[in-house]
């Protein structure tokens, strides 16, 4: 009981966490309700005059083709959150599966899984994604999440393995083993709860990583073929001369949003780390 109130106390006092989650919340709200504030679809040619700077009619201006940047932006935000949540979530899940198994079983299972993790880690995953994406003619957002999740897990697996390793040798796990609990139950009932905080941190990092990967894929034209995304906005901006024509309203918002969201996630991560690890708290 005392412990819980202490965590709450530090949560409310931790600036890094508060600022981080505040920024995430703002963008999340924008992604959720933003699209209902504009009458234009992201790819509609809304303005007959082509590129226009921000105005009362087009809050963030229009693209070279006269599309509404605000509409693209808020819809792109949606895609960003979906990728972070699903791609990052899947990456965490696969990482948990492999990391827990390797760390808990040890021995030869660990050797093999660890070697496998290291191999996947060394391969530039983007290159693999690229080749898969290139051969698929129609790509959906869900597929992108799937690909990202299935290639992003090694970091999570490594971290979770190490942590499981150290927990495995603790007394309470021995006790559970002695009392004849099945390995899966031990992981679920004894190890996972003790790692909950750690898993949250891993998920946050995977969330941010997935967003950055998606931006890269989208930017080189291998993102979803049927949705707008922040990465795609930047690609169009670069390809259609936003730079030489100085159409900053086209390329500044998407990159800024990604930076702000990922930065906010990192900040939350550091903040939560301080809350979970009393050692890091400043006295």
Partner 1 sequence: MRRYLIRKIVIYALTFFLAVTVDWLIPRFMPGDPIRNMLTRVSVASNATAIQMMYDYYARLFGLDLPLWQQYLNFWKALFQGDLGISTYLFPTPVVDVLKRAVPYDVFLLVPAILLGWYTGNKFGAFAARSKRLDNFVLPLSYILTATPYMWLGILLAWFFGIVLGIFPIAGAYSFSLRPTLSLTFALDLLHHWFLPFASIFIIEFGGWAIGMRNMIIYELEAEYSRYLNALGSPKSLVRKYAFNNAILPQITGLALKLGVIVAGALVTEVVFSYPGIGYLLLAAIQNQDYFLIQGCFLFIILGVLIANFVIDLVYLVVDPRTRRGMVGESA
Site string for partner 1, 188-217 (x = CB under 8 A): --------------------x---x--xx-
Is there a contact between 178 and 114 (Cβ–Cβ < 8 Å)? no
Stretch of 94-102, 178-186, 195-203, 263-271 lying at the interface with partner 1 (CB under 8 A):
263-271
Token digits for 16? 């890094």
Tokens of 122: 């060394």
Rounded Cα distance between 143 and 223, Å, is 9
**80, burial (CB in 10 Å: exposed 0-12, middle 13-18, buried 19+):** buried
Which residues does 15 contact at the CB level (< 8 Å), separation at least 6?
271
Q: Which two tokens stand for residue 274?
A: 């301080």
Angle, CA 37 vertex, CA 207 and CA 258 arms, to 5°: 25
> What are the structure tokens assigned to 129, written together?
């994604």
- Of 42, 76, 87, 254, which lies in the binding site for partner 1, with binding defined by CB under 8 A? 254
Minimum CB separation of residue 136 from partner 1 in Å reads 7
Q: Which of residues 109-138 bind partner 1 (CB under 8 A)?
A: 115, 118-119, 121-128, 130-132, 134-137
- For residue 226 the two structure tokens come to 């049927």
Q: Which is nearer to partner 1, 93 or 270 (CB)?
A: 270
Mark 98-120 as b/e (b = at least 16 C-beta within 10 Å).
bbbbbbbeeeeebeebbeebeeb
Please tell me the distance from the alpha carbon of residue 8 to that of residue 4, in angstroms, as a whole number. Answer: 6
276 binds partner 1 (CB under 8 A): no
User: Which CB, 114 or 194, lies closer to partner 1?
Assistant: 114
In the block, which residue shows the tokens 């496998």? Answer: 116
237 touches partner 1 by CB under 8 A: yes
Min separation Cβ 22 and partner 1, Å:
15
Q: Is 159 in the site for partner 1 (CB under 8 A)?
A: no
Q: Would you say 175 or 256 has its CB closer to partner 1?
A: 256
Closer residue to partner 1 in complex, CB, 8/136:
136
The reply on whether position 243 binds partner 1 by CB under 8 A is yes
Verify binding: residue 106, partner 1, rule CB under 8 A.
Answer: no
Does 53 sit near partner 1 (CB under 8 A)? no
Q: Which residues of the chain form contacts with partner 1 (CB under 8 A)?
A: 115, 118-119, 121-128, 130-132, 134-137, 208, 212, 215-216, 219-222, 231, 234, 237-238, 243-244, 246, 248, 251-252, 254-256, 258-263, 265-267, 270
């Amino acid at each position: 009981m005392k412990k819980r109130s202490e965590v709450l106390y530090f949560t409310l006092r931790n600036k890094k966490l508060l600022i981080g989650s505040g920024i995430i919340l703002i963008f999340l709200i924008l992604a959720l309700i933003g699209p209902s504030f504009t009458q234009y679809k992201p790819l509609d040619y809304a303005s007959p005059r082509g590129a226009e700077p921000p105005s009362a009619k087009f809050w963030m201006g229009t693209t070279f083709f006269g599309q509404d940047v605000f509409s693209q932006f808020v819809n792109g935000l949606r895609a960003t959150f979906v990728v972070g949540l699903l791609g990052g979530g899947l990456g965490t899940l696969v990482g948990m599966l492999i990391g827990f198994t390797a760390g808990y079983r040890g021995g030869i299972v660990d050797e093999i899984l660890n070697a496998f993790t290291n191999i996947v880690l060394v391969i530039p995953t983007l290159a693999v994604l690229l080749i898969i994406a290139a051969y698929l003619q129609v790509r959906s957002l869900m597929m992108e999440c799937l690909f990202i999740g299935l290639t992003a897990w090694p970091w999570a697996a490594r971290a979770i393995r190490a942590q499981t390793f150290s927990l495995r040798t603790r007394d309470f796990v021995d006790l559970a083993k002695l009392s004849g609990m099945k390995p899966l139950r031990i992981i679920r009932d004894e190890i996972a709860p003790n790692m909950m905080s750690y898993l949250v941190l891993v998920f946050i990092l995977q969330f941010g990583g997935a967003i950055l990967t998606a931006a890269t894929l989208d930017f080189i034209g291998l993102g979803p073929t049927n949705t707008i995304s922040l990465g795609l906005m930047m690609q169009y901006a670069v390809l259609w001369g936003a730079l030489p024509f100085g159409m900053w309203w086209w390329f500044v918002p998407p990159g800024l949003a990604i930076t702000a969201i990922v930065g906010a996630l990192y900040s939350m991560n550091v903040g939560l780390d301080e809350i979970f690890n009393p050692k890091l708290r400043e006295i």
